[in-house]
Amino acid sequence: MSTTHQITLTEARNRLSRFNHQVRRKPDGKFEIFRNRERGKESSFVTDDLWAGFLQAQNREIQRFAAKVAKFNLREEIADALVEWFTAYGRQWKDLLRRAWYNGNYGSFGHSNVSAYLQQFRNTNGIEIVCRL
């Protein structure tokens, strides 16, 4: 049994903007999804299922971020915690992580291993690495 998700164009625009993407409705009724300032390039794609398009764009950005994190040879737990944080907060991840480091409030990650690993990361060399991500 498959579950289909419905998403409005406005909601898709809001969600995609968190991951630096935009969506445009084409005259044929399909949707073009592309990274900011990369319309028509190889990173753009056309879909008739807006929800699937959102998930595809989100997964691309998560993979791109995970590849950047992997270049720093961090412990696996810390790298996974950073990717989870990015997945939850999208393009605002840095600002929200700095706030969490400052006030100790990790929001929904408050009582999880993610917050513990992010705090360990901050206490070692996390601030310099976050600036380079």
Taking the chain (133 residues) in consecutive chunks of 10 residues, what is each chunk's mean pLDDT? 69 87 87 82 78 88 93 91 92 90 80 85 81 78
Q: Please report the pLDDT score of residue 43 as a whole number.
A: 66
Q: Measuring CA to CA, which residue among 73, 68, 82 is closest to residue 117?
A: 82
Within 10 angstroms of residue 14's Cβ, the number of other Cβ atoms is 11
Residue 12 pLDDT:
86
Give pLDDT, residue 1: 42
Tokens 């935009």 -> residue: 22
End-to-end CA distance of the chain: 40
Q: What angle, 0 to 180 degrees and rounded to 10, lies between the N-to-C axes of helices 76-89 and 50-70?
A: 150
Residue 108 pLDDT: 75
Domain edges within the chain: 9-64, 74-132
pLDDT at residue number 79: 93
Tokens representing residue 3 in the block: 């579950």
pLDDT score, position 20: 85
Structure tokens at 16: 């995609």
